[in-house]
Structure 1
Amino acid sequence: MLYYKDILEKNKKWAAEKLASNPEYFSEMSKGQHPPLLWLGCADSRVPSSEIIGAEPGEVFTHRNIANMAIHTDINMLSVLEYAVNALKVRHIIVCGHYGCGGVKAAMGNSTVGFVGKWIRHIKDIYAKYREELEAIDDENKRWDRLVELNVKEQVADLAKTSIVQNAWKEGQFLHLHGWVYDIKTGIANDMEISMNDVTQLDDIYHIRPD
């Protein structure tokens, strides 16, 4: 288990290793960031965005919350999205869920206590939307996995409905949305093949109209 001083020592070791390979590493990094990717992922400590895709610092702009949600009233998420799309001009946005997500599991139960209970209310709505499909799955773990996948699908749709993404598309900006699910048991991220790069795909893929 890591302790406070151990973490500081690991930071010093990491910085020394970077400088040993490139003496200008941090000098170059301080000049600015131009990441091609925005990652919207779960806050789960087992799913570190940069590490699982082999990215270096400066390559991934990141927003994480419980169960990788893109809620339209979340000013934090919208601020990150706005900066990533309008200022950094990211080219790809990945919504990455993961099997074994505790937030999704909690949404399958009856608990609505506390802030987490309020947060996962949105996932409960997704469960209700797909209730027939989900409750046809007898195995609870497989039902859980499927809700993780459906949650990713719905979050991609919610991102696509934001004025930030829609305006970028209308202005001809290159911007692709993707939905992934990471498997903690294998270390592999699976593309759910629900990528979107145009506002017209909302009706074609999700049978909904933009807000």
Structure 2
Amino acid sequence: MLNSRVGTTLLQSLNRRAFSPRPRLSPTLSVRLASARPLRFFSSSPTQDKDNTTTKSPHTKTDWRNMAEQDITKYLRQTHDRVFEHNRCWAADKKAQDPDFFVKLSAGQNPEYLWIGCSDSRIPAEQITGLEPGDAFVHRNIANLVCNTDLNVMSVITYAVEHLKVKHIVVCGHYGCGGVKAAMTAKDLGLLNPWLRNIRDVYRLHEKELDAIKEDDARYDRLVELNVYEQCRNVVKTASVQQSYAKNKFPIVHGWVFGFHDGLLKDLEIDFEGILKDIQKIYNLTEG
């Protein structure tokens, strides 16, 4: 199928870019970041720092309940300042590699991809795909949902397709998704209920398949995949995608899942043309 071939080729290309020998950071930037002032994370079993504040080695999980007020203040200041230290190093490195980098960046964007992903902080779209600034228009929310009542994601899709002319729309979920896990839990989660209902509806649509999976983790992983599949269908239902594809033969919609255990993307090989043909019996918006 056209979409399977395109999706597989695209994913292979991105993985080559992401894991190619080309360093993502220059030696200069690596040295700068390595020498940047480290963060201190405070814990319930402290040691005495030279300025008499209680600290523990970097990367230790913070126990906020046992932190003194002055320690919290210092921690917040350090985490804030470190971002700006890294930003200065990154900007200097980019300019050293290409003096016109920011001139070209400020001229405008022409991304090939629209990325709709989860808000999970462990999945930075550009880093796991090897994409550069300007390559991807990115939207993220809890559990990578595409809801027709969400004006945010609908506006993103419309702008990306009609104005940026993206060639690929990627809906990327991830195994171990907290939003999907919460939706599988029989519990009142307050304000989250309306949002998670969209995932519960995915379970309802595929209830027989999911209930036939006896192992909890396997059922959980499959719901992650089915959620991506249904969100891809929701993307295809939009007028901007249908009309652009009828006219230009793009964008193509892809469904991917990221795995934390190996860092690899899995292509679900969404049959974009098949889905489009199927849903247009009811959702055909190409006219008018």
Q: TM-score range by the shorter chain?
A: over 0.9
Could you tell which deviates more after superposition, 168-177 or 156-165? 168-177
- Residue aligning to 1:202: 276
Aligned match for 2:168, one of 92, 96, 101: 92
Shift of residue 195, structure 1, vs aligned partner: 4.0
1:137 aligns with 2:210: no
* Equivalent-residue separation in structure 2 for 1:98 and 1:208 (angstroms): 31
The alignment's TM-score, normalised by the length of structure 2, stands at: 0.69
Give the number of the structure whose residues are more often helix, by fraction. Answer: 2
Q: Secondary structure of the residue that 1:120 maps to in structure 2?
A: helix
3-state SS in 2 of match to 1:187: coil
The number of residues matched between the two structures is 208
Alignment of 1:9-158 (within 5 A): 9-158=85-234
SS in 2 for 1:179: strand
5+ residue gaps in structure 1?
none
Correspondence for 1:186 among 262, 267, 273 = 262
Q: Runs of 5+ in structure 2 lacking a partner?
A: 1-38, 40-77
Larger radius of gyration: 2
Give the corresponding residue for 2:4: none
Q: Is structure 2 residue 68 aligned with structure 1 residue 5?
A: no
Q: 1:176, CA displacement in angstroms?
A: 0.3
Among all aligned residue pairs of Structure 1 and Structure 2, give the percentage whose two residues are the same amino acid: 46
Amino acid at match of 1:161: K
Distance 1:90 1:79, change over 3 A: same
Note the C-alpha offset of 1:194: 0.5
Q: Please, what TM-score do these two structures have when normalized by structure 1? A: 0.93
For the 8 Å contact 1:93–1:178, the answer to whether it is kept is yes
Contact 1:40 1:94 in 2 (8 A): yes
